[in-house]
Amino acid sequence: MITPSKTTSPIVARPFDADKRSHTGLLLLIAAFVALLHVFTNGRYGFHRDEWQFLSDARHLDWGFVAYPPFTAFVERIGLSLFGLSLVGLRLFSVLAQTIAIFLSGLMARELGGGRLAQIATALAVAFSPLPLFEGTEFQYSTFDYLWWTLALFSLIRLLKSENPRWWLAVGAALGMGLETKYTTLFLIAGILGAMLLTPARRYFLNRWFWAGFALALLIFLPNFLWQIRHHFISYQFLQHIHARDVRQGRGDGFFKDQFLVCANLVAAPLWITGLISSLRSSRYRMLAWIYLIPLGLFAVQHARGYYLAAAYPMLFAVGAVAAERWLTRLPTLGRRSIEAIYFTAFAAISCYICAVVLPLASTGPLRDFALLKNGDLREEIGWQQLAQSVAAVRDTLTPDQQAHLGIVVGNYGENGSLEFLGPAYRLPTPISGTNSAWLRSYPSSQPTTLIVVGDDDHDSQFTNCKFAATIPYPKDQDNEESRFHPDIYICGPPRLPWPELWKIALSFG
């Protein structure tokens, strides 16, 4: 049996200094404010291209998908059943995930001995950092990944504080759900195991509750693992391709800059830096520092995208806020209040800027123009109706016999999902796509002989008699993947190879 450590920690040593309920109420108020901010703005523009992929996969539930594990599509299926094709409704689960993460972050500060100031500072730092704020604007698997990391690290803080090894069950459950959501959870697991080896927490390797938590994580992940076996680990092939593409395009070049400008609110940088230093100096909580540093190093060496580590910052905010609060209590009242006023004024200013960039605050006017100029993800929400309308217009130029044997071939998952959901209103057939899990769903049994081709740069080499048909009239303020690279529509004849032979080489990752 593990006995409590006799060493003291510079982070935690005292109970919080005011009524717990009042602090909980303030944390809930912050989370509720952010939730309402999303609810009132999430109905603007349209679905992001990634959301169209989740929607398409949600119609074909399985224990795995080429691009990600099954949890996100499962939640999207529930959203479709409850809300239909509603922007606000389908994004509600993302909003809930983000608000829970905000609340848990404040509780981290409480568990570390922080009072009201530390808890509020932590919750606000998470609420108004660019990446977590973005996570509430769209339905993304990274939103739920952020939640599971936060829950796992909150449980780990509870474990380190209480030294009750039963908390390994909660850690294992959160990690298992993380593995069913996004495979980057493996980097968090590597961080935890490495941190255990580098700190006195290595003693937990001999504890049955650690292994019970480990087994629970594997049990939760098992259905997806079996799916990967059946599909020859196709997701590993996908991840290799995407990583090579990202490195080739330089998407990871700003990795360290993104730790300050994307993963965290810039004004809150002193908090997480203080949190990292304080964790390293703490005998009890040094494990937290290594849980951050090990994935940081792994991601940096792999030239990963900067936002992959965003979910590690809530714990650093919490540790840093507690340390800062204790330092402030030693200052004279005037000095303490002056520093707090300067910090929160600067924080509010940069947070307003972040909101203007990240949130769709306006559907017209200067705020909309500013957001579309700065935020490429918002631009990816525009133009999908024009795509469906243009494809329908091209269809209407075909003869009745051509329309009777018509297929629509698309080049990416955004085109596939949008036409799958928007196409029925224009009496369009289900699109044909070789991208990601759409490839597993194969081609129509009817094998169409007249094809409308969108977004496929290799149409001449794959299909016969291709002719230009139309250019999609995308909005003037749109500058995204569709308007730049795939604005044209072609009419083609049958594929140059029989459909079964074509499909063997049709798989693409994106």
Taking the alpha carbons at both ends of the chain, their separation in whole angstroms is 50
Rounded CA gap, 193 and 195, in Å?
5
Helix (H) or strand (E) holding 152: helix 141-162
Cβ proximity of 240 and 246 under 8 Å: no
Q: Give residue 10's pLDDT.
A: 47
Which parts of 192-248 are beta strand (E)?
A: none
Q: Each residue's pLDDT tens digit in the chain (510 positions)?
A: 333 344 444 454 444 344 555 689 999 999 999 999 999 999 999 999 999 999 999 999 999 999 999 999 999 999 999 999 999 999 999 999 999 999 999 999 999 999 999 999 999 999 999 999 999 999 999 999 999 999 999 999 999 999 999 999 999 999 999 999 999 999 999 999 999 999 999 999 999 999 999 999 999 999 999 999 999 999 999 999 999 999 999 998 999 999 999 999 999 999 999 999 999 999 999 999 999 999 999 999 999 999 999 999 999 999 999 999 999 999 999 999 999 999 999 999 999 999 999 999 999 999 999 999 999 999 999 999 999 999 999 999 999 999 999 999 999 999 999 999 999 999 999 999 999 999 999 999 999 999 999 987 788 899 999 999 999 999 876 789 999 998 999 999 999 999 999 999 999 999
C-beta neighbour count of 291 within 10 angstroms: 27
C-beta neighbour count of 446 within 10 angstroms: 12
Rounded CA gap, 368 and 490, in Å?
33
Q: Sheet harboring 488-492: ordered strands across?
A: 406-410, 450-454, 488-492, 467-471
Rounded to the nearest angstrom, the gap between the alpha carbon of residue 388 and the centroid of all alpha carbons in its chain is: 27
Tokens of 251: 């998407």
Q: Give residue 458's pLDDT.
A: 82
Q: Give residue 457's pLDDT.
A: 79
Which residues, listed in sequence order, are joined to residue 182 by a DSSP beta bridge? none
Check residue 4 and report its DSSP letter.
Answer: P
Tokens of 199: 């700190």
Q: Is the dihedral of CA 150, 173, 28, 41 positive or negative?
A: positive
Q: Give residue 7's pLDDT.
A: 40
DSSP calls for 423-467: GGGGTPPPPB--BTHHHHT---TT--SEEEEES-TTHHHHBSS-E
Rounded CA gap, 136 and 87, in Å?
12
Place of tokens 């297929």: 407
Q: Give residue 437's pLDDT.
A: 97
Q: CA of 317: how far to CAs of 96, 119, 275, 276, 322, in Å?
A: 21, 10, 6, 9, 9
Domain boundaries defined on the chain:
20-358, 384-504
Rounded CA gap, 354 and 324, in Å?
24
- Indicate the SS3 state at residue 184: coil
Q: Give residue 6's pLDDT.
A: 40
Place of tokens 């029989």: 498
Q: Give residue 252's pLDDT.
A: 87
- Indicate the SS3 state at residue 408: strand
Rounded CA gap, 109 and 127, in Å?
14
